[in-house]
Structure 1
């Protein structure tokens, strides 16, 4: 059985360090690690990682996402999403592949994208394999 993993390990090129506070949007083509707090939208054509101390209060768009921290906003991911054991996502999620580890918290709607779907995550007319509303117990 194939093991679920991120496409590749990207070199971190943008870092918001623990204790840092950014107010405003972040946009780039490179891999981003958030260990501080960002109030604003984050967009990358690579991987977004939210470290255990990381908080994003805004919408996130990325090629892949690995969460150990908190996102309060919608998360749109073209490829794979991993919600780690300490992560919290409060918002809607669009992704092609999803792994939710024990201990992760997710409150929102999940849309699983078809792998053949070409990616305009702003388009609500895209084909989906499944839709699921997830609410806390």
Structure 2
């Protein structure tokens, strides 16, 4: 009888050997592109002002100033100054203060000075104040009470000082009096006399001489002379 050969248990427990992975030489160009992508992701990106304007609704009442580097759509009420890149004062809005922006469109009420490169007053607008501008457009129906001045740089203080220097000096108020001035024209005095009621003095009336009755002797003498 043939006997089976005994297997060594140590052979069954042998761990298979694996080949080490081959490392390929890195491409220097690829490494540079990878570094550039990673650095681009790491650096923060500074975003400019978005195209969507900041909206201030009609139920907002502000006491103070507003500063923005973008566009502002203002529909509320404010007592203070507004500084922005662009401003639209909506219909029904009220601004009591100075406005300074590159572009300003007014459809509501503004009580204060407006300084902008381009100013547009719509038909529903009402502006009470000075406007310093480079370009100005006023629609028919707009109400404007103030002075306007052209300036290549309306944001500068020199433009403000020049506009203030051109304002006319205040005129003194005139006081009406019933008494004519010493140097008043004679025609005015004559008209006042004609308008005054005429008063007659009894003492100035002409005197009427009354005839006294003749005595009896004088009557007889007169009759004798007649004969």
TM-score normalised by structure 1 residue count: 0.76
Aligned to 2:139: 101
Q: Are the counterparts in 2 of residues 87 and 104 from structure 1 also a CA contact under 8 Å? A: yes
Counterpart secondary structure, 1:123 = helix
- Alpha-carbon offset, residue 19 of structure 1: 1.7
- Alpha-carbon offset, residue 11 of structure 1: 3.4
- Provide the aligned C-alpha RMSD in A: 2.5
Q: What is the aligned counterpart of 2:55 among 15, 19, 24?
A: 15
Counterpart secondary structure, 1:66 = strand
Measure, in 1, the Cα distance between the counterparts of 2:146 and 2:54: 28
Listed as ranges, the gaps of 5+ residues in structure 2 are 1-49, 169-227
Measure, in 2, the Cα distance between the counterparts of 1:125 and 1:73: 13
Q: Deviations over 1:46-88 (max 9, x none)?
A: 211000011100000000111100110000002x111000001
Measure, in 2, the Cα distance between the counterparts of 1:111 and 1:119: 9
Aligned to 2:156: 121
Equivalenced residue count is: 117
Counterpart secondary structure, 2:92 = coil
Task: Trace 1:61-100 onto structure 2 (pairs within 5 A).
Answer: 61-78=100-117, 80-100=118-138
Counterpart secondary structure, 1:18 = coil
Structure ranking higher in strand proportion: 1
- Alpha-carbon offset, residue 14 of structure 1: 1.7
Q: 1:96 to 1:48 in 2, by over 3 A?
A: same
Query: Are residue 60 (structure 1) and residue 99 (structure 2) matched?
Result: yes
Of residues 96-105 and 11-20 in structure 1, the stretch that sits farther from structure 2 once superposed is: 11-20
- Alpha-carbon offset, residue 20 of structure 1: 1.0
Listed as ranges, the gaps of 5+ residues in structure 1 are 1-9
Q: 1:102 to 1:58 in 2, by over 3 A?
A: same
- Alpha-carbon offset, residue 120 of structure 1: 3.8
Work out which of the two has the higher radius of gyration on C-alpha atoms and give 1 or 2.
2
- Alpha-carbon offset, residue 127 of structure 1: 8.4
Q: Are the counterparts in 2 of residues 110 and 132 from structure 1 also a CA contact under 8 Å? A: no
Q: Are the counterparts in 2 of residues 88 and 106 from structure 1 also a CA contact under 8 Å? A: yes
Aligned to 1:37: 77
